Chain A
Amino acid sequence: GDSVTQMEGPVTLSEEAFLTINCTYTATGYPSLFWYVQYPGEGLQLLLKATKADDKGSNKGFEATYRKETTSFHLEKGSVQVSDSAVYFCALSGGPNSGYALNFGKGTSLLVTP
């Protein structure tokens, strides 16, 4: 079945460092791909998305490119801030057989220190 694998954390970076969080997927067909972010004590917020191969999603300095050849959707940011500390989830869209559920990775916790 469909699945998402993302790098395990926690990831600790200094402010202004470069961020990469790896995400790979297994899916039949061509799902849409998403990154969601969850700040402490809050719900999930959509960070960015890509709906087809070679699409690049971007938001708030984060970006990710839908790579069909490597089945990847890695999240990157050139210069992280303390306020980026959160848990990041990679997800792919499910079809009717799964109730259109999002299939999430287990999440990667990011801590950015001053």
Chain B
Amino acid sequence: NAGVTQTPKFQVLKTGQSMTLQCAQDMNHEYMSWYRQDPGMGLRLIHYSVGAGITDQGEVPNGYNVSRSTTEDFPLRLLSAAPSQTSVYFCASSYKAGNTIYFGEGSWLTVV
């Protein structure tokens, strides 16, 4: 039972580069979301999706894009990486919006 799988686990980017953080879940969960975790700031919601084809912005969406073409996958795209996007990123999912949320293992991103 894989749960929520994120790749890559570690990544170093140069300022201005783009990349995609992958997230997949095998639990047939409708709700998926991306958080970032920063020291002293806790976890903050970036984007979320309540089902395939539906996405919306969270608290800190600027600089990130998402899409949800399938129930299983919810990739997070950094369009032009900035040092302020250095963070730990967590993908999370739940059966439906408002249900218990389960997290992936995290992706550590450094932008230099």
Contacts and interface: CB of A to CB of B under 8 A. Distances in A.
Interface string B37-67: 0001011010010100000111100000000
A53 to B, nearest CB: 18
A101 to B, nearest CB: 4
Interface residues of A, number: 22
A66 B102 CA distance: 20
B42 A107 contact: yes
A44 B97 contact: no
B104 A101 contact: no
B31 interface: yes
A10 interface: no
A4 B106 CA distance: 23
B92 to A, nearest CB: 8
A101 B98 contact: no
B110 to A, nearest CB: 15
16 contacts: A34-B100, A42-B105, A43-B103, A44-B90, A89-B42, A93-B98, A98-B45, A98-B58, A98-B59, A99-B45, A99-B48, A99-B57, A100-B50, A100-B94, A101-B48, A106-B40
Given A32-B100, A98-B59, A100-B94, 12 more contacts: A42-B106, A43-B105, A44-B43, A44-B103, A46-B102, A93-B98, A98-B58, A99-B58, A101-B58, A102-B43, A104-B42, A107-B42
